[in-house]
Amino acid sequence: MRETRGAWKVGSLRGIPIRVHVSLLLVLPLLAYLFSGAFRRAAEVANIPTAQLTGMAPVLWGLGVAVVLFVSILVHELAHTLYALSRGGKVRSITLMMVGGVSELSEPPPRPRDEALMALVGPLASLALAGVFGLMAMAAAGTRSFHLQFACFYLAGLNLFLGLFNLLPAFPMDGGRILRALLVGRLGVVRATRVASLVGRGFAVLFAVWGLVTLNPFLLVIAFFIFMGAEGEARQARMKAVLERVRVVELMTPRISGVEVQASLEQALWDLRRERRVALPVTDEGRPVGWVGVEEVRGVPDAERLSRTAREVMHPLSVVSTEENGWRALQHMGESAVPLLAVVDMEGRLAGTLDADDVQRGMALLQTREERAEREARRWRQERPA
């Protein structure tokens, strides 16, 4: 397994990494304890005498149920992923966390209808699992496999709850994504996301209040993630709407040269300090061939920096054209996990660089320009003679 951003890769599907976040490993013992506490009540509901469920401690039951529950959540996320791929979407990764699963999309399906159906298939998969476990519990009722009957009954109930809970219109949960997709045709993506985000934050407040009243820590955690997720999705939708309308050339820092590929690391460090940058492109006759950062240079002993070159420590560089739109460039930066992009002209020569600071400055200027245009348009409408 390979650790990545607080998660471990445990497998892949069509090249898409499947990861387990460290928060899941921390919450499993707590879930095991909570499920074991409900052991006797669940057995009564299932009409199974607890005396028949001997031979295994309730806490082990709870741990087994918690593990299978997260396998069910993985099936839920795989349903999202497979449908997205079948409709032209792109999935970056699947991560199982303490609050459930996350399928990270680098590009959603192009049509709102497909996005709605993609959100719907996850809860449907959970409801289907509930049906399967329910049928298994019924089949086991005619035998003396009380442990199997109880486990299937318990998991059927958990998957039923998971499917129905995810259908609540609490954006960015599945039900909230369905709501947004239904509103896009009438309101547009930005306004639809804003409305769905407000509904989601309203549900988050209700969950938080109910969690405080019932002293349920999981509801409080879920409320926090929904509230922050709704706000983050609304912000991302606004950013996408703005950046899709501008070219990279309008955002980048103009630059026709970087650190020369044969420059010493001492010279590279001087260039980085002069430019006040943590990373710069490495160029060979004006064409970008990699990037080098302050950390890479400082990782080399002082006595060796004059004799070693930028080529020896540089990293592969991602390149975009000046005509690429800002949103696609930002996605490319995230997918490549690089601190900057090299912007090249039609001949492949370095024209500038683009990093997160450039995008933030560009966003601030573009939003200021749009707000000024809106104020002027509003003033013109007010001053126009009737």
Sheet containing strand 319-321, strands side by side: 253-254, 350-355, 340-344, 319-321
Residue 3: predicted pLDDT: 41
pLDDT classification of 1: cutoffs 50, 70, 90? very low
Which of 144-153, 159-168, 236-245 bottoms out in mean pLDDT, i.e. has the lowest?
A: 144-153
Residue 56: predicted pLDDT: 60
150 and 12 in one domain?
yes
107 and 9 in one domain?
yes
Condensed to tens digits (0 to 9), the pLDDT of residues 93-126 reads 898 887 778 888 877 887 888 989 999 999 999 9
157 and 85 in one domain?
yes
- CA dihedral (264, 269, 270, 274) positive or negative: positive
125 and 213 in one domain?
yes
152 and 59 in one domain?
yes
303 and 191 in one domain?
no
Domain end point (choices 183, 214, 243): 243
- CA dihedral (141, 144, 146, 148) positive or negative: negative
90 and 58 in one domain?
yes
Residue 5: predicted pLDDT: 58
Higher pLDDT, 268 or 49: 268
Number of domains comprising the chain: 2
User: What mean pLDDT comes out for the span 288-300?
Assistant: 93
Which CATH number characterizes residue 261's domain? 3.10.580.10
Residue 167 is assigned to a structural domain of this protein: yes
Residue 384 is assigned to a structural domain of this protein: no
User: What mean pLDDT comes out for the span 271-280?
Assistant: 90
252 and 239 in one domain?
no
Q: List the catalytic residues.
A: 77
Indicate if the pLDDT at residue 336 is higher than 90: no
Q: Residues annotated in the binding site for Zn(2+), as ranges? A: 76, 80, 174
Condensed to tens digits (0 to 9), the pLDDT of residues 303-316 reads 999 999 999 999 99
58 and 16 in one domain?
yes
Instruction: List residues bridging with 340 in a β-sheet.
Output: 355
Indicate if the pLDDT at residue 152 is higher than 70: yes
Residue 370 is assigned to a structural domain of this protein: no
76 and 59 in one domain?
yes
315 and 282 in one domain?
yes
pTM listed for this prediction: 0.77
Q: Residues annotated in the binding site, as ranges? A: 76, 80, 174
206 and 290 in one domain?
no
- Kindly state the tokens that stand for 349: 């020569």
Amino acid identity, residue 65? V
pLDDT classification of 257: cutoffs 50, 70, 90? confident
Indicate if the pLDDT at residue 69 is higher than 90: no
Residue 377 is assigned to a structural domain of this protein: no
Which of 41-50, 58-67, 174-183, 208-217 bottoms out in mean pLDDT, i.e. has the lowest?
A: 41-50
Gap between the Cα atoms of 9 and 147, Å rounded: 32
Residue 2: predicted pLDDT: 38
Closest C-alpha among 244, 138, 120 to residue 182: 120
Residue 386 is assigned to a structural domain of this protein: no
Domain end point (choices 243, 266, 283): 243
Residue 375: predicted pLDDT: 76
Q: Which domain holds residue 344?
A: 248-363
| CA atoms within a 13 Å half-sphere pointing along the CA-CB vector of 299 | 9
Residue 382 is assigned to a structural domain of this protein: no
Condensed to tens digits (0 to 9), the pLDDT of residues 4-60 reads 457 788 888 888 889 888 888 778 887 777 777 666 666 666 666 665 565 567 777
Do 1 and 8 meet the contact criterion of CB atoms below 8 Å apart?
A: yes
Residue 171 is assigned to a structural domain of this protein: yes
Average pLDDT value for the chain: 86
Higher pLDDT, 234 or 7: 234
